[in-house]
Structure 1
Amino acid sequence: MFNRKKRIAICAAQIPFNYGGAEILVEELNNQLNMRGYQSEIINVPFKWYPKEQLIDNALQWKMVDLTESNGEKIDQVICTKYPTYVINHPNKVVWLFHQHRPVYDLLDTPYTEFSKTGNDLKIINHIRQIDNRTLAEAKKIYCISENVRNRLKEYNGIESEVLYPPTKLDGSYKEGNFEKYIFSAGRLDPLKRVELLIQALKFINKEYKLVIAGKGKHEEKLRDLVVKEGVEDRVKFSGFVNDETLINYYSNASMIFFAPKDEDYGFITIEAFKSGKPVITTNDSGGVLEFVRHNGNGLVCNPNSREIADNINNLIENQEKLFQLGKKGIETVKYINWDHTIKSLVIE
């Protein structure tokens, strides 16, 4: 039986006015803990990554937060999520690592970071890594949301951890539907999500098929410009941020789901697609997505090349029976991911 008196603080760092998969996961973790009788609350501190020195100040803010008690009552445990939440001091600190500050780790030497390995940048990089090494080692348990995140933690910090895959917010609500003539893309519109690969591929894909894009983000304007440049305005729909019912229906009735981010930490879209019985189209550098997607097993894995993506999608369109079978396999792939197991792992009893 769950202890109905345990008080748990979930430590979260959010960029104000920015909402995505991490924020959804934190909210749902809080909901699931409360549903099981725990007294759970989200402790959210705003996160700012510029100027670069601000990253150190953010860590110091968490170091100064006291969550051992509140209003004279003990807080039994904290669950930390991403940099720099795990800097906090607590005797029962559990880390469920969404990701570290990737621009000073695996994104170095890529277009997705502002850091170089020289001068003051290098000092900040080393400082952040020292903070991670010291404060993560204080945790009683360390879980990562994917093999990809676990491998990074081991490679860069030499720290061992376990994988604990997050269930989706709407677990149990997804449903199998029709295979209508559209490809669905969901999530924050950010350069790392690489929706442009599919937009560029669309002109080579069977003209009967359209693209529906759900989500908002800083990359939206560039994607809209690209749609015009590629001459596919009549085949692309930007739906913006959609409610849960609309999202479920989009997944349910799509022919397939496109999700090809650059070295993704985990990727809820993969799980949501498979729960809906739809194959996932991804690329061979998509990181955590590849822990689930198997080429010609439950989806397609291509090079990050628009023409190759188009050719693979066309082959799938021409073989509808294969399309249906890949979707069925996806359901089997993720059926073991559920909240009961997740909560049991995260809570110290």
Structure 2
Amino acid sequence: MKKKIAVLHAQVPFVHGGAELHVYALKKHLIEKGFDAEIIQLPYKWYPANSLYNSMLAWRMLDLSESNGQKIDLVIGTKFPSYGAIHENKVAWVIHQFRQVYDLYNTNIGYAGVPDGSHIRDHVKKFDKQALQEAKSVYANSKNVANRLERYTGIASTPLYHPPMLAGQYKSGEYGDYILSVGRLDPLKRNDLLLRAIAKTNGKIRAKIAGKGPELENLKKLAVTLKIESQIDFLGFVPDEELPDLYANAFGVYFAPVDEDYGYITLEAFFSQKPVLTCIDSGGPLEFVKDAENGYICEPDDEQLADAMVKLYENRNMCKKFGANGLDVVKGITWDHVIQELTKTL
């Protein structure tokens, strides 16, 4: 009989991003390896404070020992607070913690300014420590997440990288006239910085921005203000089957979020043999991008980014060389290794 594995996921209803791709892909590859895998998810809401408490409690209260009279052999917790589930054979693969009480605590989205914020922070920390210490193995989806986990909770974890969703479909095409940005349009992704940099390239460079999110209208207004609207294509949601071509024909990829946990975009770019532009404070991408070898690592400064973009735009041979170097960095990242690690306790 196939071993039954439950992949645990905290789902923000109607929001689908990297975390969702992560768990869907994990289920798919577990099944391909001969396991009976299922995603178990609960709706997640972090505001007001009592909703956050309820979300943590809900995961602690689940009975995941069996289903329909058959034993669940392994549970894999991923996003906070899903790894709080109780099971005799629990493994955690931490996508990210509730960063608003950790590294983002004193930011405009953190809990420092929330009533009773310090108490909420202490409660989440206690939850994380207890839940993760129960796990037989703790993995993180990047070194950045692993370092953050140890810094704030004292819990050691093993970085475990996984390929992007469309691994095997990416390809290298022409090094065209545009730089590509892909992902949810959120302030932390800093597409406004990209637009400000484009405005300093004297009309040389176009950008294609693929994705939806709360910043879309602000970005469109900024493009008008900067008088670069003719250079920017806001593509909205792009179907999976169209993404490889977008990557294939860009001369480079912009991915400079604030302290990203992992970031599929870096890997998608390198599998497409495209150089990556990122920033010194971007977190996850810095585990792969090497300055002046497979991309450029800049200060979060529009002039410096503009200079780096122009260097790439004006030297397609450099783009090709950087792209090949990027592929060398990521080509060994496979789902086979991921599944082997996560199922060691079976």
Q: TM-score, normalised by structure 2?
A: 0.98
**Contact 2:251-2:312 within 8 A present in 1 as well:** no
Task: Report the 3-state secondary structure (helix = DSSP H, G, I; strand = E; otherwise coil) of the residue aligned with 1:99.
Answer: coil
CA-based RMSD of the aligned residues comes to: 1.2
Kindly indicate whether the alpha-carbon contact (under 8 Å) linking 2:279 and 2:299 is maintained by their aligned counterparts in 1. yes
* 316-325 or 43-52: bigger deviation: 316-325
Selected match of 1:41 from 38, 41, 55: 38
- Check if 1:169 corresponds to 2:165: yes
Instruction: Report matched runs for 1:52-71 at 5 Å.
Output: 52-71=49-68
CA distance in 1, matches of 2:122, 2:11: 23
Report the CA distance between 1:108 and its aligned residue. Answer: 1.4
Cα distance in 1 for partners of 2:225, 2:25 equals 39
Check the 8 A contact 2:177/2:313 in 1, yes or no: no
The separation in 2 between residues aligned to 1:160 and 1:140, in whole angstroms, is 12
Give the SS at the match of 2:78: strand
Residue in structure 2 matched with residue 153 of structure 1 by the alignment: 149
Comparing 212-221 with 137-146, greater Cα deviation is found at: 212-221
Shift of 1:220: 1.1
2:228 counterpart of 1:258: no
Moved over 3 A (4+): none
Whole-Å separation in 2 of the counterparts to 1:84 and 1:244:
28
Residue number in structure 1 paired with 2:342: 346
| CA deviation after TM superposition for structure 1 residue 166, in Å | 1.6
Q: Which of 59, 83, 92 is the aligned partner of 2:89?
A: 92
Aligned to 1:135: 131
* Mapping of residues 295-306 of structure 1, within 5 Å: 295-306=291-302
- Counterpart of 1:314? 310
1:268 aligned partner:
264
| C-alpha contact 1:82 1:98 (8 A) present in aligned 2 | yes
Between the aligned partners of 2:270 and 2:10, the Cα distance in structure 1 is 29
Residue 213 (1) aligns with residue 209 (2):
yes
Q: CA deviation at 1:209?
A: 2.2
Contact map agreement 1:12 1:42 (CA 8 A) in 2? yes
TM-score, normalised to structure 1, is: 0.97
**Pairwise CA distance, 1:117:** 6.9
Counterpart among 79, 83, 86 of residue 80 in structure 2:
83
- Check the 8 A contact 1:278/1:327 in 2, yes or no: yes
Which residue does the alignment assign to 1:120? 116
1:27 is aligned to 24
Local SS of the residue matching 1:307: helix
Deviation at 1:208, TM superposition (A): 3.6
Equivalent-residue separation in structure 1 for 2:71 and 2:311 (angstroms):
59
SS of aligned partner of 2:37: strand
Query: CA offsets per residue over residues 199-251 of structure 1, 9 Å max, x none?
Result: 11111125242110111111111111111111111111111111112111000
Counterpart of 2:329 in structure 1 is 333
Distance 1:53 1:166 in 2: 34
Q: Which runs of 5+ in 1 are unaligned?
A: none
Letter of the 2:241 counterpart: E
Secondary structure of 1:30's partner? Answer: helix
- Where 2:95 maps in the other structure, the secondary structure is strand
Deviation of residue 275 (structure 1)? 0.2
Q: Assess if the C-alpha contact under 8 Å between 2:175 and 2:316 holds in 1.
A: no
| SS at 1:272 equivalent | helix
Residue type of the partner of 1:96?
Answer: W
**C-alpha distance in 2 between matches for 1:70 and 1:268:** 33
Pick closer, same or farther for the CA change 1:206–1:33 going to 2, 3 Å: farther
CA contact (8 A) 2:64 2:72 kept: yes
Relative to structure 2, which stretch is displaced further, 27-36 or 314-323? 314-323
- Look up the SS of the partner of 2:234 in the other structure: strand
- The equivalent residue for 1:239 is 235
| Structure 1 residue 18 corresponds to structure 2 residue 15 | yes
2:6 equivalent to 1:9: yes
* Structure-2 residue corresponding to 1:186: 182
CA contact (8 A) 1:53 1:124 kept: no
Report the residue type matching 2:303 in the other structure.
Answer: R
Give the letter aligned to residue 184 of structure 2.
R
The size of the alignment, in residue pairs, is 345
